[in-house]
Amino acid sequence: MKTRTAVFLSAILAFLTMAVVVSAVSVSSAGDAPPVTSRSFEFTYTVTVPALPATSAPLRVWIPLPDHDAYQKISDLRIEASVAHTVEQHAEHGNEFAVFVVNTQQATAPFDIVLSFHATRYEHRVPLATNTSLGATASGKTAPAGAPESQLMLAHWLQPDRLVPTNGVIAQLAQENTAGATDTLDKARKIYEYVVSTMRYDKTGEGWGHGDAVWACTAKRGNCTDFHSLFIGMMRASGIPARFEIGFPLPADKTAGDIPGYHCWAEFYVEGIGWIPVDASEAWKHPDKHEYFFGAHDVNRIQFTTGRDLRLDATQKGDPLNYFIYPYAELDGKPFDKLQSHFAFRDVPAAPPASAHAQAIGND
């Protein structure tokens, strides 16, 4: 009797074990997101201010500060300089920046302003291919779509920028390339395919780098700014809110080094899903990641600011900034271009496990 009971219990246990395995495989095959990936690093942003003439008016300097959200955690931020500063926030877009007012007595010789901080960047991926009614949290797991964006902000992200119109040739291209689209996400995909297949990443000659959408669609080349200006213009012309984000790239094959320049990308909004990441220029440079970059931003980046045509504060006398990633300065109310900048990073040990990060987000 004991033997029969033992055999029976063993059979039940084996059945339950198999059921658990089959269930796990089924969940995985149903589209569970992979474990979160992250990258932790120290970042240094150095600005060298030159000596000022003894009769000079005070020099005002604005320096962007890194963004902080569910996909990018910033800590130990330090600003070292011989001149005091204040930290302000852009009312419209939420961008933060440090402001320095330098008088001639403080700049009898060149000096450095050093911004340094620790950052952990998490992959931002929305699993569009598996379930478009779900968003993605920074834990890498699918979750209900985030809180809806306000109608006021959505309306803002439909407006043209100075170099990103939503009429004329941009509107015509949008209409032609979204013909037959079945929904908002389908329209966005068609625009993405047009930009990646038509543009060429090429920084030769002149004209590139300004984020001029009309120039980009005519020249059919440029850098990340040009790719995403065309993408954003066509999206807005199609009635889809889209926004511009800018920061710096981190080399995937290096753990430390200098960073020669900025990188920018985009996000667009779909009701019921939320903001969806796109990186059209990286998709062009890495054809093997063409699918990935429609719905994802990898960890090899650091974001600073959002938006174009930025007027930083009431004291800024020059034109609104086309975008804000490098330091901006004014002397006697006029743009001052004598600052020098240097950017560098160094990887540090990995961040806490994804589960701990997900818990932290839940407590935000």
Q: What pLDDT score was predicted for residue 352?
A: 58
pTM: 0.84
Residue 108's Cβ-side half-sphere holds a number of Cα atoms within 13 Å equal to 1
pLDDT band at residue 362 under the 50/70/90 scheme: very low
Q: Which residue has the higher pLDDT, 15 or 123?
A: 123
Q: Is the dihedral of CA 242, 219, 201, 209 positive or negative?
A: negative
Q: Which residue has the higher pLDDT, 232 or 18?
A: 232
pLDDT of residue 248 exceeding 90: yes
Averaged over 37-56, what is the pLDDT? Answer: 96
pLDDT single digits (tens) 301-312: 999 999 999 999
pLDDT band at residue 90 under the 50/70/90 scheme: confident
Q: What pLDDT score was predicted for residue 1?
A: 39
Percent of the chain clearing pLDDT 90 (strictly above): 77
- CATH hierarchy code of domain 124-298: 3.10.620.30
Q: Supply φ then ψ for residue 177, to 5 degrees.
A: -90, -5
Q: Which residue has the higher pLDDT, 128 or 347?
A: 347
Task: Tell me the fold of 38-119+312-362.
Answer: Immunoglobulin-like (2.60.40)
How far is residue 314 from each of residues 34, 46, 103, 139, 244, measured CA to CA in Å? Answer: 46, 25, 19, 39, 23
Q: Is the dihedral of CA 329, 330, 335, 337 positive or negative?
A: negative
**Ranges of each domain in the chain:** 38-119+312-362, 124-298
Cβ atoms of 297 and 277 closer than 8 Å:
yes
Q: What pLDDT score was predicted for residue 138?
A: 39
Query: Do 38-119+312-362 and 124-298 come out as alike in CATH topology?
Result: no
Q: What pLDDT score was predicted for residue 50?
A: 97
Nearest to 163 by CA among 224, 223, 230: 230
Average pLDDT, the chain: 86
Angle at 154 between CA 126 and CA 326, to 5 degrees: 80
Q: Which residue has the higher pLDDT, 11 or 43?
A: 43
pLDDT of residue 10 exceeding 50: no
pLDDT single digits (tens) 179-209: 999 999 999 999 999 999 999 999 999 999 9
Q: Which residue has the higher pLDDT, 148 or 157?
A: 157
Q: What pLDDT score was predicted for residue 351?
A: 53
pLDDT of residue 4 exceeding 50: no
Q: What pLDDT score was predicted for residue 361?
A: 36
How far is residue 222 from each of residues 35, 42, 87, 160, 208, measured CA to CA in Å? Answer: 34, 30, 34, 20, 5
Q: What pLDDT score was predicted for residue 139?
A: 35
SS3 59: strand
